Amino acid sequence: MIHYGSRHPAQFSNNPGRRWAMSSDSDTPQPGYDTCNIHLRMLGEDRTFTVPVPLGKRTLLDLLPAARELTGQAMAVAVDQEARQGRPISCASGCSACCRHLVAVSPAEAQDLADFVAELPAERQAAVRERFAEAKRKFESIGLLVAGETHGERGMHSSQGANHSERVRTLSYRYFQEQIACPFLENDTCIAYERRPMVCREHCVTSPAENCAHLDGSGVRPVTPPIDMAPVLARAGKRLLGMKAQTVPLILALEWSERNCGPLRQEHDGVELLQTIVEECDRNYDQDFESRSDYVK
């Protein structure tokens, strides 16, 4: 359960399910932003922290810094619990076997990553775009992607599996089998680190790092993320912008954004955007882990 507080308590004062706290002692916010105290109650622990709230009319993309802070704090609760039980995290910089997994991003993250690529200097941008193209050609060649399907609407396919969860597992396994590095990986370093997807922020393990290279996942003990922020953002996009509540495979993010970016430029009140995300976090926390995502077609 997440409760949240802000400098604008009157706006939500008729919502009895929430607890408010003024944030007068918070750090000076960046220009164009206010700050909001979030009270997090999760896995039996309470935490209070500050997130940036964009002022005035803003887009869902402007809420990504707040969403990253939310998911980082939720993961910190889970990681601290693992450590207290004698299971410290194995992840370290330069360790990148996990950057060969299928990564699913929300529409807002897909757009943000497309913007990140567009902001790169021309030569570097061309190299990154070529890695995206190369990865897609590879997955088309083995049938996980269909070349002839409309770009921006297509997803990754798995026909094996009796139900959604099994198809997700099969697709994830076949994807990892190919050992195609994420297009953002250069010299075992993520060049999009500050803007890396929520899934990347939520993935860490307590098992030996070398086990992460096992294709069948044997010996890998991932920390279960208390919240999956990508589906949370996808559902917020549906509620606020009327978008399809889906996630997008990272390697399709650039072609997806070319066709679908329009609604993500719609502006809403920044506090309303944060409120929607927090409400969707509450829903996600209560959901069964395997029913949180729906990117397999």
CB of 234 to ligand SF4, least distance (A): 17
Stretch in the footprint of ligand SF4 (CB under 6 A) among 16-24, 127-135, 156-164, 197-205: 197-205
Nearer to ligand SF4, 41 or 201 (CB): 201
CB of 69 to ligand SF4, least distance (A): 18
Nearest to 59 by CA among 296, 266, 228: 266
Q: Judged by CB under 6 A, which of 192, 264, 273, 278 binds ligand SF4?
A: 192
Distance CA 23, CA 263 (A): 32
CB of 90 to ligand SF4, least distance (A): 4
Q: What is the phi-psi region of residue 20: left when phi exceeds 0, alpha when psi lies from -120 to 50, beta otherwise?
A: beta
Q: Judged by CB under 6 A, which of 3, 136, 154, 203 binds ligand SF4?
A: 203
Distance CA 203, CA 215 (A): 16
Distance CA 25, CA 6 (A): 12
CB of 82 to ligand SF4, least distance (A): 13
Distance CA 46, CA 59 (A): 30
Q: Is 64 an interacting residue with respect to ligand SF4 (CB under 6 A)? A: no
Contact in structure between 226 and 72 (CB atoms under 8 Å): no
Contact in structure between 75 and 225 (CB atoms under 8 Å): yes
Q: Is 108 an interacting residue with respect to ligand SF4 (CB under 6 A)? A: no
Q: Is 131 an interacting residue with respect to ligand SF4 (CB under 6 A)? A: no
Distance CA 108, CA 82 (A): 30
Stretch in the footprint of ligand SF4 (CB under 6 A) among 11-19, 200-208, 226-234, 237-245: 200-208
Stretch in the footprint of ligand SF4 (CB under 6 A) among 64-72, 79-87, 95-103, 129-137: 95-103
